[in-house]
Structure 1
Amino acid sequence: MSERPIGDYAVLSDCRSAALVSGAGSVDWLCFPRFDGPAVFARLLDQDAGHWSIRPVGPAEVSRRYLPGTLVLETTFRTRTGTAVLLDALALGKRERGHAMGKSSPGALLRQLTCTYGRLDIAVEFAPRPEFGLVQPVMAPVAGGLIARGGAHALMLSTGLSLNVAGSTARGEVRLQDGDRLGFALSTAPAWERGPKPWPGRRIRRRLGDTGAGWRSWSTLHGAYTGPWQEQVRQSGRVLRALTYVPSGAIVAAATTSLPETVGGTRNWDYRYTWVRDASLTLQALATATCKQEKVDFFTFLAQAAATQLERGVDLQVMYGIGGEHDLSERVLPHLSGWRGSTPVRVGNGAWRQRQLDVYGELLDAAHQTLPHDVPLDPPVCAFLRQCADAAAHRWADPDQGIWEGRGPGRHFLHSKLMCWVALDRAIALAPALSAEDRVTDWQRIREQIREAIENRGFNHQTRAFTQAFDGEQLDASALMLPLVGFLPGDDPRVRSTVETIARQLTDSRGLVRRYLQDDIDDCEGAFLLCTFWLAQALALTGQPARARKVFEDALSHANDVGLLPEEVDTRTGEALGNFPQAFSHIGLINAALAIRAAEAAPEPHADTRLRPPNE
């Protein structure tokens, strides 16, 4: 059973796959060659499911950071006798820069340890367990390192350090003096090939430099934001880029699977896929940094992945595989004990079969913010977005599973209706680009029907708030989206009372916001950082920037030492919960920072700078 806190991990990415490295210098999660591939190291979910550690022998003080403008991790170990610095990165392609970052990543995990003072003894332990720990590979020394064979891929560990192999684990110790350096590279190749070639030390050093330069060039192109929490906003942009699968343009919701929303609970889902909702919101957040190529890649990916679905009258899937796969059938890995005993551990995600009507709104809102309004779009993208608007118009009155993906019967969720309104609102503004001027009258008529339904059936006068579902009483933090998407202004009395009611009833003692109070699966669900950032943003839009800043800081205080945010926070202990790092949380940070910056610059409540409704 894995016990290490989720917040102890830092993420590495080559924009194709991801690794998580603990504060103790252990790679406890790595999926090759894609985000959604079988894990080579999965100690994150089971103590015996694979890891690769590099650490001093004996006690050491540890500090770490990302090198400025990059996701190259620098961990510093200080012992009684010496200091060593460990650099970790998933390699980018040779001399990749800017928008091209990740296009030709070689699929290699690079690690370099340098003694910078005194002397110290270092222990290395390499224990790959492919296919989520099912495979214990056969290891053999080769020139330049060792090779591990077992399962679908061969693994090459390139190193000049002599390692002792016992079964499926290799170990070694070495004493480093000031100026000594050790380089490692882990690469892979299909098992039927001869195997990957070893990387010499000079190549490891060169590609670490290339990788740092690649991230810095991307950060320079996409670091336009200035204002409050500037570094945190820019770091969040890098995290969102790290969750992008560059070959297709897909964006994953998180780098991991089955990290629970409740310790010991069953809400342990696989987030290594592209949700239409999450990816659309990611695109909006990245638009802050003028990520032009990302928006083109994403809409092209989605139009291709969803080709013919809407034409056949089938709902747009809420999620796809990062290569455009439709079937994401869920299965359980019973041999894994789970993080802190939280089972089942799952791969795949059954939510792909759900109906979630809000996706049309998020998708068209992203298009509205990132695509030109007056120039016809490419025919496939144009046709796809028209179909999305028509689907929202035809299906808005149907029940669905909603934003929180409840696995019970469908309901008439307010947030789903709201986002259908957004879909039509944005489609009307985009009509020239969509070659859809003939649809505008119908879209306007249905948009007004949705508005009337939300205002008449969504607001509960007893609770003084918009509620989770039509004609209901239960509060839901997703009602905070009403001013965020421009449905109602921040000074509307119903908006103000909804914000105040949610702040009073859904906020815990740490100042964090729960999604809702009842839970049909697990008790004691954690508070959601996305919802907390929504509250900060809504407070800014209601003309309360000082309160908004306090809520923002409460949420931000749960970022870890390298600026990564989880999905949830345990309301009792303050620990990170859920898959990690979580795109939704970093999206919320960016948008709330923008709203607070605007509120502090304006004397009166104003329109949201992120989700401004179109002029008609």
Structure 2
Amino acid sequence: MSDVAIADYGLLSDCASAALVSRGGSIDWWCPGRFDAPSLLGRVLDPDAGHWALNPTKAESDHRSERTYVDGTLVLRTVHHTSGGSVAVTDALLAEPGVPGHELGRNPPMVLARIVEGLTGTVRMRTEFVPRPEYGLITPYLHQHDGEVRVEAGPLALTLRSPVPLECTDGRAYAEFDVGAGQTLPFDLAHAPAWGPPPPRLDPVASLAETIDNWRAFSQLHDYGGRYPDLVRRSGLVVQGLTYQRSGAVVAAVTASLPEDLGGSRNYDYRYAWLRDFFLTMRALWVTACPEEAGRLFDWAARSAGRSGDQPVPIMYGVMGERDLSEYSLDHLRGYADSRPVRIGNDAWRQRQHDVAGEVLLCAYLIRDHLGELSEELKALLVDLAEEATRWREPDAGMWETRGSGRHYLASKALCWGALDSAIKLAPMLGHRADPARWAAVRDEIRAAMLRDGWNERVGAYTGVIGSSELDASVLVLPFTGMVSATDPRMRATIEAVEAELTTDGLVRRWPGEPAGFVVCTFWLVECLAMAGEMERATALFERTAARANDLGLFAEQIDPRTGAHLGNTPLTLSHVGLIGAAWRLTKPSFV
């Protein structure tokens, strides 16, 4: 099978794990239990790594499909039109029954439901279930019993319930069947640990209706009063779908090793939670009126960081706060579009990134009125991050996580300024270790040095690395920190230079020569233009960029300006919080 386009995938989530469904009706990615668990269905990374197809047979001519999310949910409904008739397939990771909206995802049943409904005529359908646990390393045993298929493999126990008889052979269950108008055929796949209670038995039709109700109840808890409300609410739902609700952690994406460049080696595992993304994610939760989720995310960060001592606060964690995310390669997988290596884990957890301090402390100041009395753990985290910012003269890996020796990134140092400026304002809340007088002296020193050394007279812009002549889109975050205004002549010149030199067909690349545009950088440019008073240009760029989402409103990490193809891991939290921030900036340009 040829690789499905990344933009052709839709997201299912139960706020603990996620699945990707192709437009053609194949679930090609599911890591049951938690986002960063080994995959059970992994065809997105290799044709033989597992899938579950449910779609019209190839004999059905003139097949076309259309799909949409059920309003206010991450429940996906795909309608297949064929020469013989039309059929709908509704896919969902089921929510736990009987919970209020704000507890969605705290204890999901780990059941994947697929409901087939005949709409018109008669359609010949097929289902092919090929489970391959442990990233495709295991071909499991399939046993039929009382109309069910039980899957036994390593640590997993699975039960596939089908309304039609299935033929099982060589780790594959298959059937063809007819669906007439008015018929409803429910399928469900339930997961549980092998050495515990059996997987749950739910009524998939009733549970699907309850899942829809739970998502809608969750959506109604949040409000947004700015421009582009439909786009913002959809991106807000995606961010919630990428939240591991048991802990409050937000993962960067639900996939691992989807390439930034087809056939290339920049393939990384993004199923973890980065403090780097903290400010933009927290701001998005704040903008979409999610104060409880914002508070839980802060609690998760404080607990995960623990005592740092003389070591820098780690930049990223597993969804339950794990620190060691050591990276390894799955050499048996070919990778998406032959992009190798396929990496699991992410060695960026070992890096020093000065920007982290600013992102967290800017957040704390933003939502200070919602934090209440700070716990001792949160006070310690914020003070430790302020102290890290005082070491701003040291090189770091930068927000793009460059591997190799560190450099002096301007954005990192500007975010150190933002960290200290926020810490000074928060000092009365931070306890006896707060040192606002010393922090103020260092903050002023940073600003003077950055305005002097960060500007490159020959380029006529602030460049990415101190002393370098190379532009870098990371400098667009400077106005977000408050260190420099977007209306400052040098910052205005930088914004214009980034638009002129790093933008192709309305998409902003991170650095010269990068083949694809980075979605969040394009939304940063929207914000900078709006802050600089260029509202007409900002609005046009926002609408053009928002239109590049797939048909379900999802963004991957990057977009190829030549083809429009989405690249990199998907859906990417940073892309969606970038959209939310840009929409709010167009509503309130002076928002900080």
Shared topology, TM-score over 0.5? yes
For residue 438 of structure 1, report the CA deviation from its aligned partner. 5.2
**Paired position in structure 2 for 1:614:** none
For residue 374 of structure 1, report the CA deviation from its aligned partner. 9.1
**1:74 to 2:70 alignment:** no
After superposition, give the CA deviation of every residue in 1:535-567 in whole Å (9 maximum; x if it has no partner): 111011111011111221232122000000111
| Cα distance between partner residues in 2 of 1:117 and 1:493 | 63
Q: Could you tell me which of 485, 488, 512 is aligned with 1:517? A: 512
For residue 193 of structure 1, report the CA deviation from its aligned partner. 3.9
**Paired position in structure 1 for 2:369:** 372
**Paired position in structure 1 for 2:551:** 561
| CA gap 1:181/1:390 in 2 versus in 1, 3 angstroms | same
| CA gap 1:420/1:429 in 2 versus in 1, 3 angstroms | same
- After TM superposition, the structure 1 = structure 2 runs for residues 343-358 of structure 1, keeping only pairs within 5 Å, are 343-358=340-355
**Paired position in structure 2 for 1:342:** 339
Percent of aligned pairs sharing the same letter = 43
| CA gap 1:589/1:30 in 2 versus in 1, 3 angstroms | same
After superposition, give the CA deviation of every residue in 1:167-191 in whole Å (9 maximum; x if it has no partner): 1100011111111111111111222
| CA gap 1:32/1:436 in 2 versus in 1, 3 angstroms | same
| Cα distance between partner residues in 1 of 2:239 and 2:370 | 25
| Cα distance between partner residues in 2 of 1:55 and 1:77 | 8
**Paired position in structure 2 for 1:24:** 24
| CA gap 1:436/1:475 in 2 versus in 1, 3 angstroms | farther
| Cα distance between partner residues in 2 of 1:321 and 1:2 | 32
Task: Return structure 1 stretches of 4+ with deviation > 6 angstroms.
Answer: none
| Cα distance between partner residues in 2 of 1:244 and 1:373 | 20
After superposition, give the CA deviation of every residue in 1:226-247 in whole Å (9 maximum; x if it has no partner): 32x2211110000011111111
- After TM superposition, the structure 1 = structure 2 runs for residues 238-277 of structure 1, keeping only pairs within 5 Å, are 238-277=237-276
| Cα distance between partner residues in 2 of 1:529 and 1:299 | 25
| Cα distance between partner residues in 1 of 2:99 and 2:51 | 29
**Paired position in structure 2 for 1:90:** 93
- After TM superposition, the structure 1 = structure 2 runs for residues 217-616 of structure 1, keeping only pairs within 5 Å, are 217-227=217-227, 229-309=228-308, 312-372=309-369, 375-393=372-390, 395-435=391-431, 439-508=435-504, 510-518=505-513, 524-599=514-589, 607=590, 609=591, 611=592
**Paired position in structure 1 for 2:208:** 208
| CA gap 1:170/1:437 in 2 versus in 1, 3 angstroms | closer
| CA gap 1:375/1:3 in 2 versus in 1, 3 angstroms | closer
| Cα distance between partner residues in 1 of 2:588 and 2:371 | 27
- Contact residue 110 and residue 192 of structure 2 kept, 8 A: no
Q: Which amino acid aligns with 1:566?
A: A
After superposition, give the CA deviation of every residue in 1:422-473 in whole Å (9 maximum; x if it has no partner): 1111112222222369511111111101101110110111111111011221
| Cα distance between partner residues in 2 of 1:192 and 1:247 | 22
Q: Which amino acid aligns with 1:487?
A: M
| Cα distance between partner residues in 2 of 1:89 and 1:279 | 28
For residue 62 of structure 1, report the CA deviation from its aligned partner. 0.3
| Cα distance between partner residues in 2 of 1:373 and 1:180 | 50
- Contact residue 556 and residue 575 of structure 2 kept, 8 A: yes
Q: Which amino acid aligns with 1:347?
A: I
| Cα distance between partner residues in 1 of 2:429 and 2:164 | 59
TM-score (norm. length: structure 1)? 0.93
- Contact residue 226 and residue 583 of structure 2 kept, 8 A: no
| Cα distance between partner residues in 2 of 1:198 and 1:147 | 13
| Cα distance between partner residues in 2 of 1:138 and 1:507 | 52
| Cα distance between partner residues in 2 of 1:197 and 1:413 | 51
| Cα distance between partner residues in 1 of 2:490 and 2:355 | 22
**Paired position in structure 1 for 2:173:** 170
SS of corresponding position for 2:442: helix
| Cα distance between partner residues in 2 of 1:86 and 1:563 | 19
- Contact residue 2 and residue 339 of structure 1 kept, 8 A: no
SS of corresponding position for 2:216: helix
| Cα distance between partner residues in 1 of 2:146 and 2:415 | 59
Q: Which amino acid aligns with 1:244?
A: T
Q: Which amino acid aligns with 1:54?
A: L
For residue 154 of structure 1, report the CA deviation from its aligned partner. 1.3
For residue 160 of structure 1, report the CA deviation from its aligned partner. 2.2
- Contact residue 375 and residue 433 of structure 1 kept, 8 A: no
| CA gap 1:35/1:438 in 2 versus in 1, 3 angstroms | closer
| Cα distance between partner residues in 1 of 2:503 and 2:385 | 35
- Contact residue 139 and residue 146 of structure 1 kept, 8 A: yes
Q: Which stretch has the larger CA shift, 545-554 or 188-197?
A: 188-197
SS of corresponding position for 1:340: helix
| CA gap 1:387/1:373 in 2 versus in 1, 3 angstroms | farther
**Paired position in structure 2 for 1:6:** 6
| Cα distance between partner residues in 2 of 1:102 and 1:64 | 24
SS of corresponding position for 2:212: helix
| CA gap 1:231/1:193 in 2 versus in 1, 3 angstroms | same
Q: Which amino acid aligns with 2:365?
A: H
Q: Which amino acid aligns with 1:139?
A: L
**Paired position in structure 2 for 1:154:** 157
**Paired position in structure 1 for 2:132:** 129
| Cα distance between partner residues in 1 of 2:369 and 2:547 | 37
- Contact residue 250 and residue 279 of structure 1 kept, 8 A: no
| Cα distance between partner residues in 2 of 1:363 and 1:374 | 13
**Paired position in structure 2 for 1:603:** none
- Contact residue 252 and residue 279 of structure 1 kept, 8 A: no
After superposition, give the CA deviation of every residue in 1:20-44 in whole Å (9 maximum; x if it has no partner): 0000111000001110000000000
For residue 262 of structure 1, report the CA deviation from its aligned partner. 0.3
SS of corresponding position for 2:284: helix
* RMSD of Structure 2 on Structure 1 (CA): 1.5
| Cα distance between partner residues in 2 of 1:382 and 1:7 | 42
Q: Could you tell me which of 41, 65, 79 is aligned with 1:62? A: 65
Q: Which stretch has the larger CA shift, 479-488 or 146-155?
A: 479-488
Q: Gapped runs of 5+ residues in structure 1?
A: 519-523, 600-606, 612-616
Q: Which amino acid aligns with 1:11?
A: L
| Cα distance between partner residues in 2 of 1:49 and 1:56 | 22
SS of corresponding position for 1:146: strand
Q: Which amino acid aligns with 1:512?
A: L
- Contact residue 374 and residue 430 of structure 1 kept, 8 A: no
| CA gap 1:438/1:282 in 2 versus in 1, 3 angstroms | closer
- Contact residue 374 and residue 432 of structure 1 kept, 8 A: no
- Contact residue 110 and residue 184 of structure 1 kept, 8 A: yes
| Cα distance between partner residues in 2 of 1:215 and 1:230 | 17
**Paired position in structure 2 for 1:602:** none
After superposition, give the CA deviation of every residue in 1:316-364 in whole Å (9 maximum; x if it has no partner): 1111111111110000001111111001101000101011010011011
SS of corresponding position for 2:136: coil
| Cα distance between partner residues in 1 of 2:221 and 2:88 | 29
Q: Gapped runs of 5+ residues in structure 2?
A: none
- Contact residue 122 and residue 173 of structure 1 kept, 8 A: yes
